[in-house]
C-alpha cells in the first residue's frame, strides 16, 4: 500500500488570473489516516474552473486545478486497514485498485449533513482545485476523507427493482469520459430536476392529488376529489443551456417519461450554438415535438404563455447564476410555482420584491448539489441515457474532446472564449 | 329563497384612513347565480385590516370592512337550484340554513388553481373587505362564487381514520368564536407549519431517510442507510407571535407531537406581552420545558445556537412580513434549511444576496395561505386544541373579547394602538 515515489505532471493556475502552467511536481502521499491517493484516468475542465481562471475568486497562490476526476485508488491511509470500525462503510470496503469517481467537494460521510444526505454542506467540505485542496488535473490526487468522499464503481448495486440490467456489468462497460460527468455536471442537473418534480408545489401534478393531500404526511379528510388529467400537465422551463443545463434537461425529461407524466419542457438560452446542441441531443432521445421546445429568451416567454394560457410554469430550473436569470425565472413561473436554482450566484441582492414573492406564492431552492448523495440517481440516468452521455465529439455530445494534459493552457483559453465545449484531460498521453 | 328586505348595520372605512363608521345600508341581495347571502353571527377584526385602516393600501372609496365571518346561508342564487350539474359539489349541496365559514378570499372552486388546491390564487380571487368586495363586518354579506368559497360546517366528515370522535357532533359543539379562527389566522398558521414539516429539506428528519430517498418519488438504489435518532430532531424557529404566529406555533407542536417526532421549537418576538401570551398558551398544551422556548430576538439566536451546536434550524416560520424578519430568518436557518414565509411583504427587495442563498442551500416559500384547501386540516387542529382555540378572554386566549358592532370605531383604535388583542363583532347586540 504505497504511492509511487517521484514526480507527476499537473495543471497549475498562477495568480492573479489566466496563467495556466503544466508543471512537474512531487506525487502526493498519504498525509492523514483518512486519505486515499487516486491515480487519475481522466480529469475534466468545468465551467466553474473559469471563475478562478478569470481571477474573480481572488487567487493569491498557485494551486493544482480541477474538481472533476475519475481514476483508481493506489494508496489508502490507516483508517482503511482491516479492523477499523465505527466508520462509514466505505472506510472498511474501499480497496487498492477500486475504480472511483469523486464529487467536486470533500464530504466526510460522518457529520450530520453527510448522514442526512446534504453532503455538499459537509462540516469539512472543501472544493477540489483550490489553494486549500489540490485538484484532479494531474496524474495523482490526494483525496481527504476518502471513505466519505469517493464513490466506488467496482462493486455497487445500481438499478432499482426491475432495472437490474442497469447493474454492475453495465457500469463496468461505461467509458471513463462518461463516468467523469458524475463528478459535477450530471448530478447537478439531476438535482435541479429532482427538486422541481419533488417540490410540494409540483406534487399535485405528479401525484394527481390536490394540495395539501399531495404532500406525503397529510392524513386528514378532504372534500376535494382527485385531479383530472388536464390539471396534471407538468410545465417546466430550463433557463441556461451550458453543460449543467443540458444535463438538467435530459434528466428532467428522463424522469418525466419514466414516471409516465404529461409534460411540456422549454429549454431557454440566448446563445445559438447552445440551443443547437440541445436540439441535437433532444432528437436522440425523442421524436415528440409537442412536449419539448428549444428557445431564445423572448421565444421562451411566448411559448410558456401559449402552453399555459398565460399562467406560467410549474417550475423553472435556473442554471445560470445571475440576476437576469433569476428575473426571467420569476417572469416564467406560475403562482404557486417553484424556482430551483443551482446556478452559482454572486454578491448582488436577488432581484425580488417581497410583495412580488407573496403575490405569486413563489417557492425557491438555492444552492450546491449534494453530489455524493445524488450519485446513485445520477448513475441510473447515466446508464439509461448512454445515447447522450456516452458520446465524445459531434453535435449532440456533452464532451467535445479528450486531449493530453499538455494542452491544458490552450484548452483553458479556448474554453474561456467559448471556442470549444467541454474538454477532458488525459494525464498519461 | 330570499334575503330579508330592508337595512342592516355595517362597519365602513372611509378614505384615506382611520375613519371607521358604523352605518346603516341596504341588505345585500343575490346579484349573480353563483352568489349566496350569509347572515353573520360573528365577524373578526384581523391584523391585516389595519393595512387599509392605516391608509397604506391607498383607499379611494369607502367600503364595508372585514374578511373573517361565520354565519348561516339565507339566500342562494340559481346555480344552487336542483338540477344544475357540472359544478363543484358545494354548488349542488349548499342549502339555506347551512352554517358556514368563509376564507378571507373568494375562490371559485372551478379554475385550475382551485382544483389543485392552491385556492388563494384562484383566477377570480378577491379579498373580502375591500372596495371590490364588501366585507363581513355587517349583519349580512354577499358571497360571490359561494359554491367554491364557503365551507359548510353542517355536514362534513372531519377527522382522519381513527379520529372519528372529532367528527360531526364535535363540530356542532364548537363556539362561533372558535370557528371564526378558521377564516384566516388558524389556516395560515397551519399552512406555515405544514409547509415546514413537508418541505423536502425537512423530510430527512420526518421520514428518518437520508436525502434524496426522503423525497417520495425516489426509487433508485442507495448505499446510505436509515438515519439515527440523533439526526432526526426537527428544530424550528417561529419569528413573530401575533395571532397568526401563535396559531402557527400551536399547529406546529400539534403536528410534531401527533407524528411522534423529536423536536425543539423556539417562538420569537420582541414584544413582551406577545411572549407572555405564547408562554401561557404553551402551558396549556404541554408541561415539557425542554422542547419549547419563548424568546426575544437575541435570546432566540442564542437558544438556536445552543440547541443545534451552531448549525441552525431546519425551518423558520416567518410570520411578520418585513425585511428584518427575513434577515433574522436567514441568520437562524441551517444549511439546507427552509424559510416558510406567510407574512404579507411590502415593496422592498428581499434582503438576500444570491451568494448567501447559494452558500447555505436555502429554500424559501412565500405567499398567501390557500385557506379553502386548508380547512379540513385546520378544523382538525381546531377540534384537537379546543383548550387553546375555544377560549375567549384571559391570558391564554387568541380572542380577547366579543363586542357589539357598535363599538367598532373604538375597537379599531385600541387594536391599532396595541391596547387590545383580537376582537370579534356581534352584529346583533
Lowest mean pLDDT among A137-146, A257-266, B211-220: B211-220
Calculate how close chain B gets to A410, using CA atoms only, in Å: 31
Chain B residue with Cα closest to A362: B366
CATH 3.40.640.10 given to domain A7-183+374-426 = no
* Cα dihedral sign, B117-B123-B128-B134: negative
Residue A72's Cα: distance from chain center in Å? Answer: 21
Distance CA(B161)–CA(B310), nearest Å, equals: 40
Nearest CA in chain A to B88: A224
If pLDDT is split at 50, 70 and 90, which confidence band does B164 have? low
- The answer to whether A260 contacts chain B (CB < 8 Å) is no
Question: Which positions in chain B touch A218 (Cβ < 8 Å)?
Answer: 194, 198, 377
Residue of A nearest to B381 (CA): A220
User: What φ, ψ does residue B404 adopt, rounded to 5°?
Assistant: -65, 145
Q: Identify the residue with better confidence: B48 or A69.
A: A69
Q: Which residue has the cell 473559469?
A: A50
d(CA B57, CA A412): 55
Contacts (Cβ under 8 Å, ≥6 apart) of B151? B100, B101, B102, B103, B182, B372, B375
What is the mean predicted confidence (pLDDT) over B379-402?
95
Tens of pLDDT, residues B176-204:
999 999 999 999 999 999 999 999 999 99
> Rounded to an integer, what distance in angstroms lies between the CA atom of residue B224 and that of residue B222?
5
Asked whether residue B1 carries a pLDDT value surpassing 60, the answer given is: no
Give the ipTM of the model, two decimals please. Answer: 0.95
Q: Which three cell numbers stand for residue B192?
A: 406555515
The whole-number average pLDDT for the span B119-146 is 97
How many helices and strands (H and E) does chain B possess?
A: 16, 16
pLDDT tens track for B224-248:
567 888 899 999 999 999 999 999 9
Q: Which residues of B touch A321 (CB under 8 A)?
A: 354, 358
Give the residue carrying C-alpha cell 441531443: A281
Residue A141 vs residues A28, A49, A54, A152, B311: alpha-carbon distances, Å: 6, 17, 24, 16, 31
Residues 6+ apart with CB under 8 A from A73: A36, A37, A38, A39, A94, A95, A96, A97, A98, A100, A146, A150
| pLDDT at residue B220 is higher than 70 | no
Q: What is the pLDDT of residue B161?
A: 46
- The whole-angstrom distance between B405's CA and the closest CA on chain A is 31
pLDDT tens-digit series, residues B337-351: 999 999 999 999 999
Average pLDDT over residues A194-220: 86
Q: Which chain B residues touch A362 with a CB distance below 8 Å?
A: 366-367
Rounded average pLDDT over B299-303: 98
Q: B19 is written with which cell numbers?
A: 375613519
Helix axes B371-384, B185-197, angle to 10 degrees: 90
* Contacts of residue B410, Cβ cutoff 8 Å, sequence gap at least 6: none
- With 0-12 CB in 10 A as exposed, 13-18 as middle and 19+ as buried, what is A154? middle
- For all residues of chain A together, what is the average pLDDT? 93
Beta bridge pairs of residue B101: B70, B151
pLDDT band at B156 (very low <50, low <70, confident <90, very high): low
Q: Does B287 touch chain A (CB under 8 A)?
A: no
In sequence order, what are the residues at sequence separation of 6 or more whose Cβ sits closer than 8 angstroms to the Cβ of residue A162?
none
Q: Which residue has the higher pLDDT, B158 or B55?
A: B55
Name the CATH superfamily housing domain B7-183+370-426.
Answer: Medium-chain alcohol dehydrogenases, catalytic domain (3.90.180.10)
Q: What is the average pLDDT across B346-375?
A: 97
Question: What confidence score (pLDDT) does residue A155 get?
Answer: 57
The per-residue pLDDT for range B318-328, each reduced to its tens digit, is: 999 999 999 99
Burial tier of B5 (Cβ tally within 10 Å: 0-12, 13-18, 19+):
exposed
Please check the confidence at residue A161 and state whether its pLDDT lies above 60.
Answer: no
The pLDDT value given to residue A160: 46
The yes or no reply on domain A187-365 and CATH 3.40.50.720 is yes
Band of residue B159 on the pLDDT scale cut at 50, 70, 90: very low
Residue of B314, B367, B378 best to disrupt the A interface, most CBs of A under 10 A: B367
Q: In terms of CA atoms, which chain A residue is nearest residue B309? A: A112
Chain-centre distance for alpha carbon B143: 19
Taking an 8 Å cut-off on Cβ atoms, the answer to whether A341 and B351 are in contact is no
User: What is the C-alpha separation between A49 and B428, in angstroms, rounded?
Assistant: 72
Distance from the A81 Cα atom to the nearest Cα atom in chain B, whole angstroms: 21
- Measured distance CA(A179)–CA(A389) in Å, rounded: 9
Reply yes or no on whether the pLDDT at A166 is more than 70: no
Binary contact (A118, B195; C-beta < 8 A): no
Residue A165 has pLDDT above 80, yes or no: no
Residues carrying CATH 3.40.50.720, chain B: 187-365
In this predicted model, which residue has the larger pLDDT, A378 or B85? Answer: A378
Amino acid at each position: 500500500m504505497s504511492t509511487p515515489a517521484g514526480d507527476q505532471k499537473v495543471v497549475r493556475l498562477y495568480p492573479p488570473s489566466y496563467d495556466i502552467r503544466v508543471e512537474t511536481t512531487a506525487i502526493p502521499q498519504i498525509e492523514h489516516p483518512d486519505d486515499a491517493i487516486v491515480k487519475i484516468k481522466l480529469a475534466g475542465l468545468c465551467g466553474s474552473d473559469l471563475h478562478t481562471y478569470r481571477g474573480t475568486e481572488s487567487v493569491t497562490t498557485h494551486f493544482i486545478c480541477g474538481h472533476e476526476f475519475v481514476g483508481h485508488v493506489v494508496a489508502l491511509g490507516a483508517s482503511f486497514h482491516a479492523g477499523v470500525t465505527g466508520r462509514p462503510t466505505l472506510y472498511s470496503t474501499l480497496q487498492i485498485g477500486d475504480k472511483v469517481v469523486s464529487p467536486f467537494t470533500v464530504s466526510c460521510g460522518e457529520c450530520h449533513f453527510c448522514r442526512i444526505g446534504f453532503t455538499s454542506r459537509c462540516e469539512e467540505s472543501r472544493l477540489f482545485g483550490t489553494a486549500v485542496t489540490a485538484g484532479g488535473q494531474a496524474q495523482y490526487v490526494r483525496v481527504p476523507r476518502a471513505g466519505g468522499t469517493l464513490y466506488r464503481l467496482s462493486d455497487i448495486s445500481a438499478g432499482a427493482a426491475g432495472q437490474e440490467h442497469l447493474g454492475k456489468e453495465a457500469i463496468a462497460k461505461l467509458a471513463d469520459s462518461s463516468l467523469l460527468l458524475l463528478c459535477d455536471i450530471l448530478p447537478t442537473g439531476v438535482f435541479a430536476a429532482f427538486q422541481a418534480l419533488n417540490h410540494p408545489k409540483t406534487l399535485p401534478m405528479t401525484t394527481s392529488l390536490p394540495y395539501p393531500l399531495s404532500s406525503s404526511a397529510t392524513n386528514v379528510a378532504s372534500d376535494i376529489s382527485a385531479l383530472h388529467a388536464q390539471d396534471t400537465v407538468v410545465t417546466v422551463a430550463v433557463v441556461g443551456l451550458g453543460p449543467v443545463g443540458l444535463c438538467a434537461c435530459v434528466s428532467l425529461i428522463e424522469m418525466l417519461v419514466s414516471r409516465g407524466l404529461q409534460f411540456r419542457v422549454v429549454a431557454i438560452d440566448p446563445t445559438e450554438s447552445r440551443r443547437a446542441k440541445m436540439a441535437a441531443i433532444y432528437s436522440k432521445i425523442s421524436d415528440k415535438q409537442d412536449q419539448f421546445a428549444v428557445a431564445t429568451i423572448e421565444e421562451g416567454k411566448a411559448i410558456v404563455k401559449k402552453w399555459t394560457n398565460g399562467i406560467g410554469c410549474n417550475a423553472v430550473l435556473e442554471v445560470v447564476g445571475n440576476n437576469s436569470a433569476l428575473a426571467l425565472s420569476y417572469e416564467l413561473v406560475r403562482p404557486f410555482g417553484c424556482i430551483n436554482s443551482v446556478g452559482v450566484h454572486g454578491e448582488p441582492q436577488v432581484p425580488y420584491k417581497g410583495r412580488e414573492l407573496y403575490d405569486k406564492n413563489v417557492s425557491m431552492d438555492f444552492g450546491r448539489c449534494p453530489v455524493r448523495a445524488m450519485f446513485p440517481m445520477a448513475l441510473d440516468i447515466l446508464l439509461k441515457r448512454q445515447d447522450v452521455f456516452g458520446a465524445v465529439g459531434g453535435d449532440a455530445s456533452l464532451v467535445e474532446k479528450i486531449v493530453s494534459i499538455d494542452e491544458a493552457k490552450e484548452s483553458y483559453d479556448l474554453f474561456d472564449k467559448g471556442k470549444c465545449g467541454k474538454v477532458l484531460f488525459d494525464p498519461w498521453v
